[in-house]
Structure 1
C-alpha cells in the first residue's frame, strides 16, 4: 500500500489546524441498533434531482417513511461508468433539470428530518472540484452521515480521510469479489461506518438471481477487520433482499427503487403521483423482506 498523503489546510480563526471530531458515527449507531434486534438495515439509493428537484425530496422522504433506514443520495454525473441503464437514465434526467452539487444538501436535510440516515454516493471528481473541505463542511452542517465513493480507493483518499475525521463523517469504500485479502484489509482499516461489498464486478442494475459470491465476500471482509459490511448491486425483490439480509449487516437497493419512477420506455419520468405510489409500494415490499430476513 502506498503511503497516504495527508494535508491539513483547514484552520480555526486563530490559524491553528482543526482537530479530529469525536462525534459518533450515525451509521455505526444504526447498525448497532439493528444488530441488537438481529436484523439487517435497508439502504436505498435515489439520485438527487430525479424526477425533478422538488419531487426528488418528496421521493426521498417517501423511502424513509415506508421502510428505508439509510438513504444513498446520488450525485448525478455526466460519465457514470459504474451505473447501469436505469440509474444512468435517472441521472441524465436530473442533469437535464439543472441539478447541481450545491443543491444536494437540501436532500440531505430532507432525509435527516424524515428520520433516515443521510449518505451521499458520488464519483470523486465532483467532490474534488467542489472542494473537499467545503463539501465536508456543507455536508456536516446539513446533517449528513457519510460519503460513498465508488471510484476512490483509500490509497488515494488522504485529503478525504483527513476532512472526514475533522467533520465526523463516515467514509465508505467499496470491495468486490475480486479484491485480494490485502486490499480488503486496507479498506477495512480506512473505512468508517461500513464497507460496501459489490455483489459482482461491473455496472449496477437489477438481477434476476443473486449468486453465492456476496456471502463469501462479506465473510472475507469481516475477517479482514470490517465491523459492518453491506451488500449492493443486484437486489430487486423482497426474496433477494431476505437472502442477502440473512448474512449482511445491510442490504443496498438502487435500480429497483429508481425504476419505479421511470416510464416503461426507461428514459422518461412517470407522473408524480403514480411514481411516488409505486415507489412507496416497492419500498414496503423490500423492507418487509430485508427486515424479516432472520425472523
Structure 2
C-alpha cells in the first residue's frame, strides 16, 4: 500500500498547475458490437411481453407492416419485433478502468414505430445503469413528436467522459431498450462501440536508469543507497514531468528465499536525506527525471525486493516497465 498523502499531492498539483492532456490510444470495451458473430455473444438479451430481438442478415421479415432491410453494416445487425405490447432489452456490463481521460459511446440504429412516441411506453432509449439496474444517465431516447420513421441508418455518438470518470474502477451496464404498447415498433441496432482512453505511462528505455537498470545483490548485513531514477512517457512518446502529473510513488514488495507469500513492505520505507517525502518521487529539475533515494537498511530479511512505480493519483497509471529488484543474500 502506498504511503503518500493525497492531500499533500493535491496541494502540490494545484501549486504547479498540473495538467495531463495527452493520452494513449482508445480501447474498445464493447464485445461483438457489430454482431458479426451471427449471434448475441457478449450481450444479455431480455425480452418480456410479445416479440423479441432477432439476428438479421437482411432476410428477416418482422411481424407487422415493416419489411426486411439489409444490415446496417457487415453481415448482421439485430432487430426488435412484436405482435403486442413488449419490452426488449440488450445490455452489456462494462468493467471500467481507472485513469479515464475520454469515453465515447456510439452506435447505428434504424427506428420504425407505427404509432406516435410516448414516454416511456412507445420509446427507443439508451441508458447507462449500475449493476443493480439503477439509472445513472439516459444517453438517448425518442420523444413525443419525433418522426416515427427514422430509417437512416442513424449514426449516433455521445461523450460519456464525465459520467464514467465518476464511476471509474467500477462496473456499469450499457442498456439498449425498445418498449412498445401501441402498435408495431422495429428498432435496429448495429456497430455499438464504447471507446475509452486511459492515460498509461511507461519508463523510458523499459526500466530504471543505471545503476538500478539491472538487479542489485546485497550480501549479509551490508546496506546501501539505491538511486531510483527514470523518465515517464505516454504511448506517443510524450514525456511527463512535475508540470503534468501528480508525483508517482515507490512501492516495494518482498518475496522470501523460502516458499512464502509476497507481501507489501512499502510502509517500512525510509528515504535517505531530506530530498524525498515518504515514498513520493521528486522531480529533478537539473536532470529532468524522477528520482528517489532508496535506503535498504529497513529491509534486512533475506529474499527478493521488487521496487515499482505507482501513480500518485487516479489521473494516470504506470505500466510494469517501471520496476526492478534487489536481493539480500
Structure with more helix by fraction? 1
* TM-score class, shorter: under 0.3
Instruction: Please report the TM-score for the alignment, with normalisation by the length of structure 1.
Output: 0.22
Instruction: Please report the TM-score for the alignment, with normalisation by the length of structure 2.
Output: 0.21
Task: Determine which structure has more spread, i.e. the larger CA radius of gyration.
Answer: 2
Structure with more strand by fraction? 2
